Amino acid sequence: MLRILLKVNGVGPRLALTILSSMTPDEFVRALIHQDTESLVRLPGVGKKTAERLMIEMRDKISDWEKNISPELKITENKNDARHQVIQDTISALIALGFKRDVASRTVSKLENGILTSEEMIRLSLREIVT
């Protein structure tokens, strides 16, 4: 994975090592497959443009890796996709209501417990922000 990362324009040895030390290769591949730029942007040294460049340039290079993703990650992936969608829906709703992305993300991450629906998350997030 390190060699593949080093071939991406704008990714040097330091950034490649930072990426691989911040998340496992399987998590990194899953973020690329699901076009999850927010996970990549959270990594130190990775901005929005770099995250997008990683997704574009690594799309074809990770096809072999994708076949070898561990079975445990594949099982939890479906559960995580549903939770991820609830979180993204909540953040999008808060942004549409006029709140800044960082405020919305911070608030949602505080309230995330894995069992709330989007509507409940939005309601609780609004209470948290307003108070």
pLDDT digits (tens, 9 = 90+) for 34-64: 888 888 888 888 888 888 888 888 877 776 6
Q: Would you state the CATH architecture of domain 1-68?
A: Orthogonal Bundle (1.10)
Q: Average pLDDT, stretch 56-75?
A: 63
| Nearest partner of 87 among 116, 61, 55, judged by Cα | 116
Task: Report the pLDDT value the prediction gives residue 14, as an integer from 0 to 100.
Answer: 92
pTM: 0.49
For the segment(s) 70-131, the CATH number from 3.40.109.10, 2.40.50.140, 1.10.10.10, 1.10.8.10 is 1.10.8.10
The DSSP 8-state label assigned to residue 90 in this structure reads: H
Q: How many residues does the chain have?
A: 131
d(CA 99, CA 125): 11
User: Per-domain residue ranges for the chain?
Assistant: 1-68, 70-131
Over residues 95-108, the pLDDT tens digits come to 888 988 888 888 88
Cβ neighbours around 128 below 10 Å, total: 14
Over residues 25-36, the pLDDT tens digits come to 878 888 888 888
Higher pLDDT, 84 or 65: 84
Q: State which amino acid sits at residue 31.
A: A
